[in-house]
Structure 1
Amino acid sequence: MEEGVGARPGAGGLCLFVNGTVGGLMTPLGVTVTDDDGVDWSGDNFDKADAIGRVVGGLALDALDAADDVADPDLRFRSTRFLMPVENFAFQALFLIGIFDRQLHDYDPDQEISETNLPKVETRIDLVEVGPLSMLTVPGELAPEVAIGGYDGSHVNTTEDELIDPDNENPPDLSQAPPGPYLKDRMDGVENWIIGLGNDELGYLIPAYDYKLSETAPYLEEAPGDHYEETNSIGPSATPLVEEMATRLIEWAP
């Protein structure tokens, strides 16, 4: 972006990469990337990462070429802090033995952890508006469907995979999936971005309707099906709380 991609000159300035909604293992692992020279890259190595960077850089330069200039854009900033309960037993243990070195709130360390003595961490969400662009930060790895929906299959965007893996032994019940408007729909910018890992890393932020834990070793083992993310999430209250606080921030007016 800054210095150019291939024969294309760069845009100068400073290029900043931010995460989007990367929860649910949104990853290029197992994906073949074709660079601008038509070369395919499929290994788990730096060459593939470099090819991805160059392809993304080229797309960004294309976007800049087609962009409209915004003269004297307004800058607006909103932020909210709130407490997030640590419900994951494994995370609680890591706090107790000092691996997680972070202040806990609403919690008496001299008493056993319980529903009435549940540790919480302070986190935050920001909403930054620059002219027509609105950027909402979320404190973890948000599952894309929380942001944009797609429970009807409208965002599959491929004929190679189905919305639900037919071999999934514990599939989600889509009849229980939430209706819109979804988080991105609630934002009122001309262009709306959701920035994952924006201020914090509280693990995966999973749709509440399909949050499933192992019956024998919750948080330590995966539930049957496709439920790795729950083992590395702060707890089932996280996503509803993030949605609630983000919506309050979006709807707030001075």
Structure 2
Amino acid sequence: MMKLLKYLAALLLFSVLICGLIAWYGMRDRNPGYTYDKKWETGVSTIRAGFAKKEINPEVPDSWKDLNGNGIYEPGLGERFEDGNNNGKFDAVYMAGFQQNRPATAIHDTLWARAMVLNSGGKQVGLVVLDAIGLFNDQVISIRKKVAEEIHLDYVAVISTHTHEAPDLIGLWGKSAYRSGVDKDYEQKVISAATAAIVEAAGKQEGAWVTFVQDTTDTLGYLVDDSRKPRVFDNGLRLMQWKRQKDSTVLGTIVAWANHPETLWNRNTRITSDFPHYVRQGIESGVYVKDSLAEAGTGGVAMYINGAIGGLMHTSPRFGIPGIAGDTLYKRASFDKAKAQGERIALHALKLLREGWTKHLEETSQLLISRSVTLPVANRNFRLAGATGLINRGFSGFFEMRSEIAYWQFGPAGFLFVPGEIYPELVNGGVEAPQGNDFCASEPSQTPPLRNLMTDQYKFVVGLSNDFIGYIIPKSQWDEHPPYLYNDRKSTYGEENSLGPETAPLLYQSFSGIIKETWK
């Protein structure tokens, strides 16, 4: 009996050791000692800019029949895959953003890595925007290292549109809740394409001048809904367009708005960038109403960047979008609905560029501050996902993650780079401390709003930048336990996809710190 007990104890100890090693390996720091702390400033100088884009479509060799239309592959209900490459197995491409086990059946429109590199005052900045749910900071570091092997840039930002209709690059949307959906070959394709787009854009730089224009009113408010109280939005449309000095033709356009690209919703099985596809297409090629040109396109490379989309900014099947001709209201998720949404954004943007109050610059100065930050991971599911290797994300300390923030001023414009989905009230104001919040806060936290601290004329807030840390929720609105906020019967969505309640306070302190460093 004693021998059996000793054997069982040894087996238990061995099992604990193996589990500990697996957890350590899964949570190990992929980039120990890495920081991206920068601070520099230039004088007024002429501008050079270059744009490029690279396709990042996955291979979708196999398709399948969704017999009940729920977007979930269910062989037990008679659903079968079509073996397009005749290898005898289902080569599933799992789509990110909604439920698990949503394999793609086809590609609807091209996914892109779209890049801009500019040079002014001897400092070069590169931005690349990916049609992706997001990238972890470790993947961003991989892109930077590859770029550095070919060219020198003084700052590189990797931004995701956060489309919910592209392949899983995080690991949370595989065949089941316990299996990653990341295809390593596809992940490397995205990293390589992002690198190539940045390098090509740098090589295409030429003398340029830039135009800024914005509409910070609620003009586009009818295109987005908010699923969580308080109902605060980030509806402003901000544009930055670059033209060649030699002939004033357009090099590229940055379009900044804020909404989850999930208009196709959770039953769609075709790869798409969602409404940003139609925004970019409209900017580049024009917007048509019943075959008549409503606004001519500008050409060049259009880039869509998302703003403060936490809270949750979205367009569900309950929310209607009017068609571009005004004679149809689309509620059910469809490509027609996404097209109407994207074209309406593009139409307003083109009108602003044509007739709005614009600011033109042929020379300007730059200032950049970036900081690595350490954030605690209180979310037990995220801890477990890291420990088991479900997500390929390193921990820089004991249940801590390294992330980063940045503030870039380019002439009259300021860009605040946010590593996740920040709630609009932290950016634009409207934080509340409703009864029932988990910390019994009586006063709103993280105030004043970040845009109030920014002194720029054009205040861009760039979400999903350089990391994917989830929702950034005001601490005075944190709500996991009863009694629930606003007398609701259940907890609101958001907390389960956040690192924890200290994320917003720590990031707010860091953001306000680097913004105040620019005050003169």
Return the TM-score normalized by structure 1: 0.80
TM-superposed CA distance for 1:81, in Å, is 0.6
CA distance in 1, matches of 2:352, 2:474: 31
Q: Secondary structure at 1:16's aligned position in 2?
A: strand
CA distance in 2, matches of 1:226, 1:13: 46
Q: Secondary structure at 1:123's aligned position in 2?
A: strand
Partner of 1:16: 303
Q: Secondary structure at 2:363's aligned position in 1?
A: coil
Following TM superposition, the consecutive aligned residue runs of length 4 or more in structure 1 with deviations greater than 4 angstroms are 169-175
Pairing 1:240–2:520 present: no
Alignment partner of 2:314 out of 15, 27, 35: 27
CA distance in 1, matches of 2:391, 2:324: 43
Contact 1:170 1:225 in 2 (8 A): no
Relative to structure 1, is the Cα distance of residues 23 and 103 closer, same or farther in structure 2, using a 3 angstrom cutoff? same
Alignment partner of 1:2 out of 284, 289, 293: 284
Unaligned 5+ segments in structure 2 are 1-282, 483-487
Alignment partner of 1:231 out of 496, 499, 519: 496
Contact 2:480 2:491 in 1 (8 A): no
Alignment partner of 1:141 out of 400, 416, 421: 421
Unaligned 5+ segments in structure 1 are 108-118, 153-163, 216-222
Contact 2:321 2:331 in 1 (8 A): yes
Q: Deviations over 1:139-197 (max 9, x none)?
A: 11111111111258xxxxxxxxxxx9xxxx95898952238421111111011111111
Query: For 1:109-124, what aligned pairs fall within 5 Å after superposition?
Result: 119-124=399-404
Pairing 1:68–2:359 present: yes
Residue identity in the other structure for 1:212? D
Q: Deviations over 1:114-160 (max 9, x none)?
A: xxxxx1111111112221111101111111111111258xxxxxxxx
Q: Secondary structure at 2:362's aligned position in 1?
A: coil
Contact 1:80 1:126 in 2 (8 A): yes
Residue identity in the other structure for 1:72? E
More strand by share: 2
Q: Secondary structure at 1:213's aligned position in 2?
A: coil
CA distance in 2, matches of 1:63, 1:78: 30
Pairing 1:252–2:517 present: yes
Partner of 1:203: 470
Pairing 1:50–2:353 present: no
CA distance in 2, matches of 1:238, 1:33: 34
Q: Secondary structure at 2:414's aligned position in 1?
A: strand
Q: Secondary structure at 1:18's aligned position in 2?
A: strand
CA distance in 1, matches of 2:362, 2:451: 25
TM-superposed CA distance for 1:224, in Å, is 4.9
Pairing 1:94–2:385 present: yes
Q: Deviations over 1:188-218 (max 9, x none)?
A: 1011111111121111111101212247xxx
TM-superposed CA distance for 1:36, in Å, is 2.8
Contact 1:171 1:225 in 2 (8 A): no
CA distance in 1, matches of 2:338, 2:493: 24
TM-superposed CA distance for 1:72, in Å, is 1.1
CA distance in 2, matches of 1:76, 1:31: 41
Aligned residues: 221
Partner of 1:158: none
Q: Secondary structure at 2:345's aligned position in 1?
A: helix
Larger relative CO (CA 8 A, sep 6+): 1 or 2?
Answer: 1
TM-superposed CA distance for 1:75, in Å, is 2.6
State the percentage of identical aligned residues.
Answer: 28
Q: Deviations over 1:41-96 (max 9, x none)?
A: 11111111111110011111122121221231323222111111111011101111
Q: Secondary structure at 2:514's aligned position in 1?
A: helix
Residue identity in the other structure for 2:503? A
Q: Secondary structure at 1:198's aligned position in 2?
A: coil
Query: For 1:79-90, what aligned pairs fall within 5 Å after superposition?
Result: 79-90=370-381
CA distance in 2, matches of 1:24, 1:122: 24
Contact 1:76 1:128 in 2 (8 A): yes
Partner of 1:212: 479
Contact 1:170 1:224 in 2 (8 A): no
CA distance in 1, matches of 2:453, 2:501: 22
CA distance in 2, matches of 1:126, 1:40: 40
Contact 2:396 2:402 in 1 (8 A): yes
* Structure having the higher Rg: 2
Contact 1:78 1:249 in 2 (8 A): yes
